[in-house]
Amino acid sequence: MPTPILPPLFAATLGLLLVPAAHAQQYQKTATGLQLSTDSLTVQVQFYSPDIVRVVKFLKGAEKEHKSLVVVQTPAPGKLKYASKDGFISLSSNSTEVRIDPKTGQVRFLTAKNQPLISEKASGSRFTAKQDLGAATYRVRQLFQLAPNEAVYGLGQHQDGHLNYRGQKVLLKQRNLDIAVPVLHSGKGYGLFWDNYSTTQFADSDQGTLFDSEVGDCADYYLLNGGGTADGVVAQYRNLTGQAPMFPRWTLGFWQSKERYRGQDELLDVVKKYRALGVPLDGIVQDWQYWGENNDYWNSTEFGNPRFPDPQGMVDEVHKLNAHQIISVWPSFGKKTKAYQEFASKDMLFDFITWPRTPHVKVYDAFDPEARDIYWSYLNKNIFRLGMDGWWLDATEPDQLQPFDTDDDNETALGSFRRVRNAYPLMSTTGVYKHQRETSEAKRVFILTRSAFAGQQRNATMVWSGDVNSRWDVLAKQPAAALNLSLAGFPYWNSDIGGFFPYGEYPKGVKDPAFQELFTRWQQFAALTPMMRAHGENTPREIYQFGEKGSWAFDAQKKFVDLRYRLQPYLYANAWGVTSRAGTLMRALPMDFPTDPKVVDMGSEYMFGPALLVRPVVEAQYVNRPDKNQPVPPNFSTTKTTEVYLPAGTSWVDFWTGKRHNGGQTVQRQTPIDLMPLYVRAGSVLPLGPLQQYTGEKPDAPLEIRVYPGANGEFMLYEDENDNYNYEKGAYATIRLRWNDKARQLTIDNRAGSFPGMQQQRTFRVVLVDEQHGTGVGEGTEPAKEVRYTGKKLLVKL
């Protein structure tokens, strides 16, 4: 694979620091902005839209095109105004102004109303000459200046427990537990995307805010003007890098998995057991070694394991049980697999140690388009043709278990692995998404994967937080990790319920009260995340392993699985908001309460969609085990409490009791083992579906519409065919629900749109929530106004 040849460097001095030039250079207008030169730099400013500005800086004489792997937007700058004032060159759209110092190349950003957004530090661009696979390039650093007390978020997913990254350092390098997304999201309502794919150090200190990348031919970044709102920042990021498509509706249900089912009979028995017990289930996951246990055949994508004698029959049986299946596929292949042999013959394999620990397993070059074609060819002919419903693309970092200095010297189709390593998950998922869309539009792409990069949301990927440990302190860090990924623009996240690695902490496994408590609390949290999926090794995770129906562990877990299914209309409508309006489902509190100073760095709570405030219980309350060999017998019938902050600016209704609270205060909420604090914002209109065993079991069942008085509000119901791409052609329907608090009236507007198979008539049971009515998971017991809806506007007085 050839290494790109870079042009000779101009003044390639190690540690070259850019200093002010002796005089200004004339700038040149371009179709999208301008270009100017200082004595040391070439600076390009390009408006991609009135709200998105790209800045590219080269050492003078070393200019070359930098083609982004991430950006998909075509520049459409609109009308631009040029001016010179106070020694600066000014370039502005109707919303964003850029000021450039023609002597130094320093760039500043302001709103059209002259409000500062962010500025580069004077002399903040630095290029250090270096060699990369024998080619001349640079280490690239750019220093910015933030405002005092400005909060910043994003940067992907990191297991450090931080929400606000002021004063912090974050290494942006893809690893098992860390997802590197170089998108900085400011509490002032703007974002910054640093378009570099090498390992990058982010650091914020008194000296400024730094992006420091190992390899780059230029400094290349984008200013995202969100108009002062967090949702605006995410919208501009998605405009620039791609929108997130819809997942199949069934993915919103409950998923069961573990560190591999050892045969198809075991897998099918799990689904049958859930059906027999009446516990809802939509997804079952087959982890590794369905190909066999010899690592020479690692990830063959073929069912070489004799315990899987009839893979077609297995998939068909899962479907007959009204469930769906996804399967684990890796980017690495054993030396005796057909894929390995084909990749090796074309020099498309990397030479570093990955899982499993053997030199005979190697990772394919996802940066090579032909290699992506080959990868899909094996997935398609061996797996997708069976009717498999989705992909678990594991280890898309790819994780290097023994990180030698030479690992980054592997050559890819785009240069050294060092140069592009962070973009590997983007390229690998791009190949699978693109090829499945080309193969069939009848089944929506669903990819569960362990890593992500900027732009990957366009590839129908759901990330999980990696192989986390089964500990309370790890659970406590999951919400902040997820929220920063959301603030970096990535909408879909989940974690292994119970943690992946028990590591001998629970000698009695699922019968250990300590693990039972941790798993139950983790599952409650997972029910209010984009994907609810039990998974882990050693200790089984199926609900019936924890006890029989009627035991506290079984009943507490089923309660939240049932809650998940009741919330499906709410979840699916919010998923449509992600796709159609660049929405965010798992929302850090500063997104919705930007003027409340108490939530600036609060990573323990979040909004789930516009209505629900979630406060996971992330500390042991019942099993106190200072010595794990001498557990204290727990009494799960006692009631504990958890502190919950209710954000200011609205009132809140307890989901479980209907009790109302004013915002701007901290309350002590009782948290028995079967309850997690959950509050509903006043004015919310919350649609709930029926209790059911799988998604779509009861298409004709009434929908319950809960109205939480105290403010005006509305909600947009969304429906389509659930698992194809006809919605992209307009085959969907929406129904707007509007609550007038003063008039005590719910308006159900005319249905907009249609699709094949649509229910022409619906029954709505409308409930006004108070301390006696419309609380908890139950259905069908509250006094309600029941109306028959035929698609025409209805007024419901409460």
pLDDT tens digits for range 484-503: 999 999 999 999 999 999 87
CA distances from 443 to 220, 285, 384, 388, 389 (A): 37, 17, 10, 10, 8
- The set of residues, in sequence order, having a beta carbon less than 8 Å from that of 272 and lying 6+ positions away, is 321
Q: Check residue 785 and give its pLDDT.
A: 95
Residue range 640-648: average pLDDT? 98
The token duo for 475 is: 């659970």
Q: What is the mean pLDDT of the chain?
A: 94
Question: What's the predicted TM-score (pTM) here?
Answer: 0.95
Beta strands per DSSP E along 616-751 = 641-646, 651-654, 660-662, 665-670, 678-681, 685-688, 703-707, 713-719, 732-740, 745-748
Q: Check residue 708 and give its pLDDT.
A: 98
Q: Check residue 402 and give its pLDDT.
A: 56
Structural domains of the chain ordered from first start: 16-147+188-241 (2.60.40.1760), 685-797 (2.60.40.1180)
Report the b/e string of 297-313 with b at 16+ CB within 10 A.
bbbbbbbebebbeebee
Spatial CA neighbour of 755 closest among 784, 792, 721, 707:
721
- The set of residues, in sequence order, having a beta carbon less than 8 Å from that of 231 and lying 6+ positions away, is 582, 583, 584, 591
- The answer, yes or no, to whether residue 405 has pLDDT greater than 80, is no
DSSP state of 6: P
Helix count and strand count (H, E) for the chain: 12, 47
- The answer, yes or no, to whether residue 600 has pLDDT greater than 90, is yes
Q: Check residue 64 and give its pLDDT.
A: 86
Q: Which helix (H) or strand (E) holds 28?
A: strand 28-29
DSSP state of 721: -
Q: Check residue 300 and give its pLDDT.
A: 98
Spatial CA neighbour of 458 closest among 485, 496, 491, 503:
491
Please tell me which residue in 467, 512, 562, 723 is annotated as part of the active site: 467
Instruction: Note whether 133 and 409 are within 8 A (CB).
Output: yes
Q: Check residue 12 and give its pLDDT.
A: 32
CA distances from 561 to 34, 359, 429, 762 (A): 56, 43, 29, 25
How sure is the predictor about 25, in pLDDT bands with cuts at 50, 70 and 90?
very low
Taking the C-alpha atoms of residue 115 and residue 8, their distance in angstroms, rounded to an integer, is: 41
Q: Check residue 782 and give its pLDDT.
A: 79
Report pLDDT digits (tens) over 265-285.
999 999 999 999 999 999 999
The token duo for 680 is: 């509903």
- Look up 287 and say whether it is catalytic: no
Instruction: Note whether 450 and 126 are within 8 A (CB).
Output: no
Spatial CA neighbour of 733 closest among 713, 714, 757:
757
Please tell me which residue in 63, 195, 212, 397 is annotated as part of the active site: 397
- The answer, yes or no, to whether residue 16 has pLDDT greater than 50, is no
- The answer, yes or no, to whether residue 11 has pLDDT greater than 70, is no
DSSP 135-192: EEEEEEEEEEEPPTT--EEEEEE-TT--S--TT-EEEE--BTTBEEEEEEEETTSEEE
How sure is the predictor about 2, in pLDDT bands with cuts at 50, 70 and 90?
very low
- The answer, yes or no, to whether residue 135 has pLDDT greater than 60, is yes
- The set of residues, in sequence order, having a beta carbon less than 8 Å from that of 538 and lying 6+ positions away, is 259, 502, 509
Give me the helices (H) in 202-248, please: 230-241
How sure is the predictor about 506, in pLDDT bands with cuts at 50, 70 and 90?
confident
- The answer, yes or no, to whether residue 20 has pLDDT greater than 70, is no
DSSP state of 298: T
Residue 404 burial class via C-beta count within 10 angstroms: exposed 0-12, middle 13-18, buried 19 and up: exposed
Please tell me which residue in 195, 394, 517, 723 is annotated as part of the active site: 394
Residue 248 burial class via C-beta count within 10 angstroms: exposed 0-12, middle 13-18, buried 19 and up: buried
Report pLDDT digits (tens) over 242-254.
999 999 999 999 9
Taking the C-alpha atoms of residue 227 and residue 231, their distance in angstroms, rounded to an integer, is: 9
Taking the C-alpha atoms of residue 644 and residue 667, their distance in angstroms, rounded to an integer, is: 5
Taking the C-alpha atoms of residue 324 and residue 319, their distance in angstroms, rounded to an integer, is: 6
Q: Select the more confidently predicted residue: 640 or 3.
A: 640
Taking the C-alpha atoms of residue 482 and residue 488, their distance in angstroms, rounded to an integer, is: 10
Give me the helices (H) in 440-566, please: 472-487, 513-527, 552-566
Residue 741: left (phi > 0), alpha (psi -120 to 50), or beta? alpha
- Look up 397 and say whether it is catalytic: yes
Residue 772 burial class via C-beta count within 10 angstroms: exposed 0-12, middle 13-18, buried 19 and up: exposed
Chain-centroid distance, C-alpha 668:
31
- The answer, yes or no, to whether residue 77 has pLDDT greater than 50, is yes
Q: Check residue 627 and give its pLDDT.
A: 57
Q: Check residue 335 and give its pLDDT.
A: 97
SS3 90: strand
- Look up 467 and say whether it is catalytic: yes
How sure is the predictor about 14, in pLDDT bands with cuts at 50, 70 and 90?
very low
Q: Check residue 784 and give its pLDDT.
A: 86
CA distances from 294 to 90, 266, 289, 297, 334 (A): 64, 21, 9, 6, 9
Residue range 48-65: average pLDDT? 95
Spatial CA neighbour of 146 closest among 167, 126, 131:
167
Amino acid code (one letter) for 471: R
- The answer, yes or no, to whether residue 1 has pLDDT greater than 80, is no
Q: Check residue 675 and give its pLDDT.
A: 98
Residue range 670-694: average pLDDT? 98
Residue range 772-787: average pLDDT? 89
Q: Check residue 24 and give its pLDDT.
A: 43
Amino acid code (one letter) for 519: F
Instruction: Note whether 455 and 422 are within 8 A (CB).
Output: no
Spatial CA neighbour of 55 closest among 113, 109, 11:
109
Q: Check residue 179 and give its pLDDT.
A: 98
Residue 442: left (phi > 0), alpha (psi -120 to 50), or beta? alpha
Instruction: Note whether 32 and 77 are within 8 A (CB).
Output: yes
Q: Check residue 624 and give its pLDDT.
A: 73
